[in-house]
């Protein structure tokens, strides 16, 4: 589906930091993503996981190396609360988010009732989002995001949403998506989630690919390295 070949990404940082002011976020990363699989990405904060997802989503381009994607395949990030404006109602925000995720206006409008039902927001759906609690916001955001239709879904740590009841529902919905024929790349710091959802895991350390393989094996190596 998608292949990264020797991908590196640098940008200019302030003069005295990093290598003479050049920040190397990714260094020579290569891996393949296969159809229908769920690939986990683990690693400490700031090692380039999000940057890698952004490159896969074609938001950023590599400084060197190539990204090969099957023609016609789309990849996008699952984002909670995309472009939400606090002064707008839940309904308007859901419409805007859906369109930013690539839905046409008619498609976006057809999702609205489904979003209202799944998020269980009831009459609050018509109220400005600024009056929502944090949990209500994430319910709206997650439900809208879940309706994204892409070939490759890139997930950056978003499963911890809402109260316990909604979280279970969200995880269930996510699991259904993943176990279907959706190709997923999944960044997570939760071992249990990685073990239960991913088919394969890659471990990124300081911008390099450190290890790739079975979830159990890669996770245990990763945990060992953190203990040292």
Site of interaction with other proteins (CB under 8 A):
11-13, 23, 54, 57-61, 76-77, 79, 82-83, 85, 87-88, 92, 95-96, 99-102, 104-105, 128
Pick from 217, 179, 224, 220: nearest CA to 197:
179
Q: Hey, which residues does 202 pair with through a beta bridge?
A: 41, 212
Q: Which is nearer to other proteins, 2 or 218 (CB)?
A: 2
Cβ nearer to other proteins, comparing 94 with 219: 94
To other proteins, the closest distance from the beta carbon of 83 in angstroms equals 5
* Gap between the Cα atoms of 137 and 141, Å rounded: 6
Closer to other proteins at the Cβ: 95 or 174?
95
CA distance 160 to 94: 20
Q: Are strands 183-187 and 64-69 parallel, antiparallel or unpaired?
A: unpaired
Residue 95 CB, shortest distance to other proteins, in Å, is: 7
3-class secondary structure, 127: coil
**Closer Cβ to other proteins, 49 or 54, answer by number:** 54
Strand partners, 83: none
Which of 78/194 has CB closer to other proteins? 78
Cα gap 190→169, rounded to integer Å: 18
- How far apart (Å, rounded) are the C-alpha atoms in residues 42 and 45? 9
Query: Which H/E stretch holds residue 138?
Result: helix 134-146
Nearer to other proteins, 128 or 206 (CB): 128
Q: How far is the CB of 13 from other proteins (least distance, A)?
A: 8
Query: Cα-atom radius of gyration of the chain, to the nearest Å?
Result: 19
């Amino acid at each position: 589906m998608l292949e990264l070949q020797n991908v590196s990404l640098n940008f200019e940082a302030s003069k005295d930091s990093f290598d003479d002011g050049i920040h190397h976020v990714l260094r020579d990363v290569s891996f393949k993503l296969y159809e229908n699989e769920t690939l986990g990405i683990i690693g400490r904060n700031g090692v380039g996981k999000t940057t890698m997802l952004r490159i896969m989503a074609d938001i950023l381009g590599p400084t060197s190396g190539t990204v090969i994607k099957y023609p016609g395949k789309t990849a996008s990030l699952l984002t909670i609360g995309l472009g939400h404006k606090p002064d707008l109602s839940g309904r308007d925000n859901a419409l805007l988010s859906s369109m930013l995720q690539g839905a046409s206006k008619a498609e976006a409008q057809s999702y609205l009732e489904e979003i209202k039902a799944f998020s269980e927001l009831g009459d609050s759906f018509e109220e400005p989002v600024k009056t929502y609690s944090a949990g209500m916001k994430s319910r709206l955001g997650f439900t809208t995001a879940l309706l994204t239709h892409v070939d490759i879904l890139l997930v950056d740590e978003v499963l911890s949403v809402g109260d316990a009841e909604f979280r279970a529902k969200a995880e269930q919905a996510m699991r259904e998506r993943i176990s279907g024929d959706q190709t997923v790349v999944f960044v997570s710091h939760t071992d249990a989630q990685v073990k239960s959802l991913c088919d394969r895991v890659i471990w990124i350390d300081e911008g390099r690919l450190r290890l790739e393989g079975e979830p159990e094996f890669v996770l245990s190596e990763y945990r060992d390295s953190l203990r040292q």
